[in-house]
Structure 1
């Protein structure tokens, strides 16, 4: 079944004579509403299939309907690179301030990622100095290296027959790095991981699972209790942490708390999954792994290609502020959009042989960390902590590090996607 055009989607304008007609794709949005460009309806999309492996559905959507209404998700999915990029370049038409955003519900307030400028810029300005490349290199890289070496020893204690790279290394390293970067005193790695997973699950809770909301509420309550002490502390005793920077920015208390929670969600999730994804990808491409190990200057390319190929952030929402045409589809004001960067990063119109993992492909910008004003503020921290330290140090510590095919791995998610278990082994 192709994307259905037989039904009127709830937000699509009708054709002028009542008969839906296809329209040519456009690489960018237009403010003119084109009669007869009702959105195709992808009624074949199954959320369970997206959770298991979204890439076949993405490929079909790009081929049949790069902008399509998906009844199962109650939103339009935008799956091509050109259209996703067009959305990111126009925050006046495609707003991040989304009605009923799951992220707002998950975090208990509206963080900077659900704001447009100038409000977004005011929040982000507070943390920019902490996350600048020079400060990451000079201040935080030694902290990240210390944490990586600590948990490499914990991985070694599990041994090559029991080690799980996610459980024993990637997740605790990402957690401890975030604890230090945020200045969350006396927080245990297990608590950071639990909070992050709760917020991520809530942000991706498009099906409104009450159990997920219960976990989010519990995490909010615990963290709110901690921040009620820490924010006043950092206002009296500032340091170089992100929480201190936010606390002393002049932002309202609720803004500070919401942005700390935002950092906990993405700041652990992305680095954790990139670490496991890099090892998973290199294990399945041994020729590339051999070249990388022989030429350490290739590690930045491994990081970038992994983020493109296996995007940890798969989709985020936007909402139209007025009628607009995107990809040849007329959208009304208030249309809920899902910007599927996990699909855009495998668009053949943008990348040669996009389904292949290739660390030697020509350098080309992808959307794995977003784009425009909402480009991920922590991407330099992730690239340094994972791409330059955690993963290269793991291969240095464990010769022959690779996935262990004797034990099962597990993946989960499409709004956020990654390995939840990755058994690994190495040469004793």
Structure 2
């Protein structure tokens, strides 16, 4: 990897075969072909240079001075109606992220939020049991409302109906991944922005009068401009429901197909942290992140010109056999180096520790502790959606 182009560097290959519809059905065969044939390639369909190998994605994350987060004309800014911190570079990014970190570090997660995560998981598990009569849709009846309620609490948006927050999250995520520029998705984003802003009017007014430990309160207390507060709360909403709900269903889906490893977890709860890490590697909650090059750069032997919009496919990097042994296998005992499930470097997902606690140490272990016979309903199939942010929209289960 080099910053300055060299005479031996290749010009950009073109992956003109890449089909977004096929990616939405199952992106992993296409990711494997990209890594094998052209790990750095221009995709006319996605309108980005795609980096699909671990080496290239890791390099991009380590060099934010070349791979800028301040992407011109990006879908995320359009979806949310403003520029959140994730679309900014340091020092501006660091200044906006610092107050959020005050309530999202592991110590604060344990002291402030773990109890709420526990009580919320119990609430929605009991509701699922009451309604389900031995079967349910794990996403609709447990994972989605639980992830939304946890985030309502963490944002201080306690008057918001969790499923409304979940809908805003879905629409913001759809807009961020709207690489095909579908107007119907932009229309949904506009409605959700208006509803979210109305809810934030109440939340901000209350928190200015009565501060608490929530993310929104921390942003306000830092003296941040209110428009920036709103942009960053919408950023938290976009990922703070979608990603943890998918982590819950993904892990259950994987364990249903790995009975030996599930038995190990039931016998030794100390393994749950490893299971969570491996589950997020296998099905990365953040499939692709977008950057823009500010100078010519060589990645995996290919010159990427300055001013190029780049998609670093983390979900593909986490299946790279040059980095992981037998990467298409789910293995809770996997060793080796770190994966890129939450990104890395200065833009690593701020919610990583909250997700690990809420999902990997509380929600999924509770499901199996209370329902050791939990399994996917053999008579009903799951449904998947997306590839930039991919997860199950439905996971029928029985117990």
> TM-score when scaled to structure 1?
0.91
Do the aligned residues in 1 keep the contact of 2:14 with 2:42 (CA within 8 Å)?
Answer: yes
Which residue of the other structure, out of 24, 36, 43, is the alignment partner of 1:63?
Answer: 36
Matched, 1:303 2:276: yes
Secondary structure (helix, strand or coil) at the match of 2:42 reads strand
* Higher CA-based Rg: 1
1:373-402 CA-to-partner distances (Å, cap 9, x unmatched) read 001111100000000000000111112111
User: Residues of 2 paired with 1:162 and 1:417: CA distance?
Assistant: 24
1:312-338 CA-to-partner distances (Å, cap 9, x unmatched) read 110010010011111111111101100
Which residue of the other structure, out of 267, 274, 287, is the alignment partner of 1:314?
Answer: 287
Tell me which residue corresponds to 1:193: 166
Equivalent residue runs for 1:313-392 within 5 Å: 313-392=286-365
User: Residues of 2 paired with 1:59 and 1:173: CA distance?
Assistant: 34
Equivalent residue runs for 1:14-93 within 5 Å: 28-34=1-7, 37-93=10-66
Which residue of the other structure, out of 216, 220, 237, is the alignment partner of 1:247?
Answer: 220
Do the aligned residues in 1 keep the contact of 2:3 with 2:296 (CA within 8 Å)?
Answer: no
Which residue of the other structure, out of 79, 91, 107, is the alignment partner of 1:134?
Answer: 107
Do the aligned residues in 2 keep the contact of 1:112 with 1:123 (CA within 8 Å)?
Answer: yes
Do the aligned residues in 2 keep the contact of 1:29 with 1:87 (CA within 8 Å)?
Answer: no
1:108-127 CA-to-partner distances (Å, cap 9, x unmatched) read 10101111100100110011
Matched, 1:207 2:200: no
User: Residues of 2 paired with 1:36 and 1:126: CA distance?
Assistant: 42
Alpha-carbon distance, 1:157 to partner: 2.1
Instruction: Give unmatched runs, 5+ long, in structure 1.
Output: 1-27
Count the aligned residue pairs: 399
User: Residues of 2 paired with 1:192 and 1:237: CA distance?
Assistant: 22
Alpha-carbon distance, 1:35 to partner: 6.1
Name segments (4+ residues, structure 1) moved above 6 Å. Answer: none
Root-mean-square deviation (Å): 1.1
Secondary structure (helix, strand or coil) at the match of 1:411 reads strand
Classify 1:29/1:268 alpha carbon distance in 2 versus 1 (closer, same or farther; 3 Å): farther
Tell me which residue corresponds to 2:207: 234
User: Residues of 1 paired with 2:113 and 2:179: CA distance?
Assistant: 35
> TM-score when scaled to structure 2?
0.98
1:345-374 CA-to-partner distances (Å, cap 9, x unmatched) read 000110000010000111530000000000
Tell me which residue corresponds to 2:255: 282
Alpha-carbon distance, 1:33 to partner: 4.6
Secondary structure (helix, strand or coil) at the match of 2:319 reads coil
Tell me which residue corresponds to 2:153: 180
Instruction: Give unmatched runs, 5+ long, in structure 2.
Output: none
Do the aligned residues in 2 keep the contact of 1:96 with 1:317 (CA within 8 Å)?
Answer: yes
